[in-house]
Structure formats: structure tokens, C-alpha cells
């Protein structure tokens, strides 16, 4: 008896599953236009975003182009061992971390300050003008920005040298772009010049969302401008500040290479080569595809670890998660 009912139940489950499958195809047929509108792009994304991850296998082979996957020679972790014994790798790692940390500290705090100051302007035309002007560099390419920075810092006719000479700070023109030790700073300041206004937008939006009554109350209590900024504005946008901070930490290692590549030159190479450039030089410049891929994997793994770490810390502090 129990046996037959058990059988019946299994049969029912099978029938139900069949029905489900049938109804899946039924709905599929009915919604075929919707499928046709999205599935091609799923394939698209699979090709351009998912397939490259398969390329990570190259890091464990001595990849030779032209050979099929099964003919490649597998070498295990050999490339990673070479990587961790290469002096240039640690140099690139140092440069990446240094520039991303400087970028994080400066590129994160200054826009907050800038947003607060813009918010304190009462004259609305002036306020809008400041915003329009400072957002502009964001839309200009790094090629142009690198050109501009080089021009401004150049020894013949660069405004920075001109000003310093006139003020008597220096006696003869200073070659900024040729100084190894100045490179990190130049990258950080260029980035700040390009993105400060733009990065302030998100904080300005957050400030605009604050309750004006808070300011009124603070005013009644006799709080001056600075006190209102400190006790009302900044605590009010704290959640936004935290989210942006976490996201920036997640991007710490993947800072890209555009600025370093465009601003750098052979004189400052030891301070300008970041991990991505190192991968590019070996992987494509020298044709060592496997080695280049190993560098890329290291880069990805570190940034994922950092993102999770930052998110974990954030969760502990605010019971919120960004991811």
C-alpha cells in the first residue's frame, strides 16, 4: 500500500515536472520576441566578457599561439614563481599601491571638502558657474590631460616654472617630468585636477537631500558656519562617504594604467610602471602571453580580496553592505 502510494507520488512529481517543462516551452514560445531581444546579447556578453576568463588557463601553460588548447605545454605555477622572484614585479606592485593609496587619500577627501564649500555659496549663479567649470576636465581624455600637464610643467614656458621663478622659489627652471620622486605626486595631482569637480557631484547630491530644518535648528542654537558644516553637513552625508570609500578601496589595485602610461617617460620608468603596464610590457610587448596573464590574475585576485575586506569592515561598522 505504502509502496504504491509512493510510486504514485513519484509519478505525480514526474508528471508535474513534465508539465512544468511543457509550460516553460509554452511561455518560451509566447515570449519568443522577448527572448530574441535579449538572448543574442547574452551570447555577446558570453563571448566578450566570459570567454577571456577562460584565457586564465594560459597562466598555467607555456602558451604558444597557433597551437590548440590540448597541445599546449602545462607548467603549473611556474609563471607565478618567476613572478614572485622578479624584482620589477615588486617595483610595479609598490608603484601601484603607492599611487592608488595617494589617489585614495587625496581623490576621496578633497571632493568632499569641495562639495561642502560649493554648498556654502549662496549666490546661485556663482555656484552653478563653479560647478560647470570644474566638471569640464572630466570629459577631456587622458591624452589631452597628459599633454596639458606636461605643457604646464615644462621648462620652456610652463606656467608652474614661470610662477616659481618669479616668486623666487627656484633659480632655474625645474624639470618636473624628469624627476622619479615627483612622478607619484604628479599623477595624483593630475587626477585631482581632472576629477575633483566631478567626484564632488555625488556628495553635493547627498547634501541637497539633507533636511533644511537641521540647519535652522543649528543656527538657532548659535552654531556658526564651520560648526554647522562639522555637526550637520558632514554627519548627514556620512553614509554616502562610506559607500564611496568602500568602492574606492575595491578599486585600489585596478587603478588602470592610462595616466601612468601617458604621463610617464623612460626617465621615471622605475616609478611609473604599474602592474597593468608591467603585464602589458611582458604580455604583449615581449609576447610572453602566459606570464602577462599570470600578472593579470594576481591583480584581479588582490582587488577581489580588497573589495571583500573593505565590505566586511563596512558591514561590521554600519550593518550595511555595498555589494
User: SS3 helix, strand, coil % of the chain, rounded to 5?
Assistant: 80, 0, 20
- Mark the segment that binds another protein (CB under 8 A) among 67-75, 180-188, 256-264, 309-317: 256-264
When asked if residue 99 is in the footprint of another protein (CB under 8 A), the reply is: no
Whichever of 9 and 305 has its CB closer to another protein, that residue is 305
Cα–Cα distance measured from residue 145 to residue 138, given in angstroms and rounded to the nearest whole number: 10
When asked if residue 205 is in the footprint of another protein (CB under 8 A), the reply is: yes
Nearest to 98 by CA among 253, 305, 263, 301: 253
- Burial classification of residue 115, based on how many CB atoms lie within 10 Å of its CB (0-12 exposed, 13-18 middle, 19 or more buried): buried
- Mark the segment that binds another protein (CB under 8 A) among 3-11, 30-38, 96-104, 311-319: 30-38
CB of 15 to another protein, least distance (A): 21
CB of 77 to another protein, least distance (A): 17
CB of 108 to another protein, least distance (A): 14
Neighbouring-strand partners of residue 61: 74
What are the cell numbers at 281? 610590457
# residues near another protein by CB under 8 A: 100
When asked if residue 226 is in the footprint of another protein (CB under 8 A), the reply is: yes
Angle (CA) 189 283 41, round 5°: 85
The interface with another protein within residues 69-98 (CB under 8 A) comprises none
Cα–Cα distance measured from residue 16 to residue 13, given in angstroms and rounded to the nearest whole number: 5
Neighbouring C-beta atoms of residue 272, cutoff 10 Å: 25
Whichever of 4 and 156 has its CB closer to another protein, that residue is 156
Whichever of 182 and 198 has its CB closer to another protein, that residue is 198
Whichever of 159 and 169 has its CB closer to another protein, that residue is 159
The interface with another protein within residues 294-313 (CB under 8 A) comprises 296-297, 299-300, 304
Binding-site member from 263, 310, 311, 314 for another protein (CB under 8 A)? 263
When asked if residue 217 is in the footprint of another protein (CB under 8 A), the reply is: no
Cα–Cα distance measured from residue 264 to residue 187, given in angstroms and rounded to the nearest whole number: 9
When asked if residue 106 is in the footprint of another protein (CB under 8 A), the reply is: no
CB of 37 to another protein, least distance (A): 5
What are the cell numbers at 260? 601612468
The interface with another protein within residues 36-55 (CB under 8 A) comprises 36-39, 41-42, 44-55
When asked if residue 8 is in the footprint of another protein (CB under 8 A), the reply is: no
When asked if residue 265 is in the footprint of another protein (CB under 8 A), the reply is: yes
Q: Contact, 251 vs 267, CB < 8 A?
A: no
Pairing of strands 73-74, 61-62: antiparallel
Whichever of 8 and 126 has its CB closer to another protein, that residue is 126
What are the cell numbers at 243? 559607500
- Mark the segment that binds another protein (CB under 8 A) among 14-22, 99-107, 164-172, 266-274: 266-274
Q: Contact, 80 vs 294, CB < 8 A?
A: yes
The string over 296-309, giving b where at least 16 C-beta atoms fall within 10 Å of a residue's C-beta and e elsewhere, is: bbbbeebbeebbee
Whichever of 58 and 100 has its CB closer to another protein, that residue is 58
The interface with another protein within residues 157-186 (CB under 8 A) comprises 157, 159, 177
158 contacts: CB under 8 Å, gap ≥ 6 = 151, 152, 173
Binding-site member from 80, 86, 98, 137 for another protein (CB under 8 A)? 137
- Mark the segment that binds another protein (CB under 8 A) among 14-22, 79-87, 99-107, 141-149: 141-149
Amino acid at each position: 500500500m505504502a509502496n504504491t502510494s509512493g510510486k504514485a507520488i513519484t509519478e505525480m512529481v514526474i508528471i508535474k515536472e513534465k508539465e512544468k517543462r511543457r509550460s516553460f516551452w509554452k511561455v518560451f514560445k509566447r515570449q519568443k520576441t522577448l527572448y530574441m531581444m535579449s538572448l543574442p546579447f547574452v551570447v555577446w556578453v558570453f563571448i566578450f566578457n566570459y570567454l577571456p576568463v577562460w584565457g586564465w588557463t594560459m597562466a598555467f601553460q607555456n602558451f604558444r599561439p597557433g597551437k590548440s588548447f590540448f597541445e599546449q605545454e602545462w607548467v603549473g605555477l611556474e609563471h607565478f614563481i618567476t613572478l614572485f622572484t622578479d624584482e620589477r614585479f615588486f617595483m610595479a606592485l609598490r608603484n601601484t599601491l603607492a599611487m592608488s593609496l595617494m589617489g585614495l587619500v587625496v581623490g576621496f577627501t578633497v571632493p568632499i571638502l569641495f562639495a561642502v564649500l560649493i554648498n556654502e555659496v549662496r549666490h546661485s549663479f556663482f555656484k552653478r558657474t563653479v560647478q560647470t567649470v570644474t566638471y569640464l576636465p572630466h570629459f577631456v581624455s587622458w591624452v589631452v590631460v597628459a599633454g596639458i600637464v606636461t605643457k604646464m610643467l615644462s621648462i620652456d614656458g610652463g606656467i608652474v616654472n614661470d610662477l616659481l621663478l618669479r616668486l623666487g622659489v627656484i633659480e632655474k627652471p625645474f624639470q618636473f617630468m624628469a624627476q622619479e620622486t615627483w612622478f607619484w605626486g604628479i599623477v595624483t595631482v593630475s587626477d585631482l585636477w581632472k576629477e575633483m569637480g566631478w567626484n564632488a557631484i555625488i556628495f553635493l547630491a547627498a547634501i541637497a537631500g539633507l533636511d533644511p530644518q537641521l540647519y535652522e535648528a543649528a543656527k538657532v542654537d548659535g552654531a556658526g558656519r564651520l560648526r554647522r558644516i562639522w555637526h550637520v553637513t558632514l554627519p548627514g552625508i556620512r553614509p554616502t562617504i562610506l559607500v564611496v570609500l568602500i568602492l574606492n578601496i575595491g578599486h585600489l589595485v585596478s587603478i588602470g594604467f592610462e595616466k601612468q602610461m601617458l604621463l610617464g617617460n623612460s626617465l621615471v620608468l622605475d616609478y611609473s610602471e604599474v602592474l597593468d603596464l608591467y603585464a602589458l610590457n611582458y604580455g604583449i610587448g615581449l609576447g610572453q602571453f602566459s606570464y602577462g596573464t599570470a600578472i593579470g590574475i594576481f591583480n584581479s585576485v588582490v582587488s577581489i580580496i580588497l573589495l571583500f575586506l573593505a565590505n566586511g569592515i563596512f558591514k561590521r561598522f554600519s550593518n550595511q553592505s555595498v555589494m
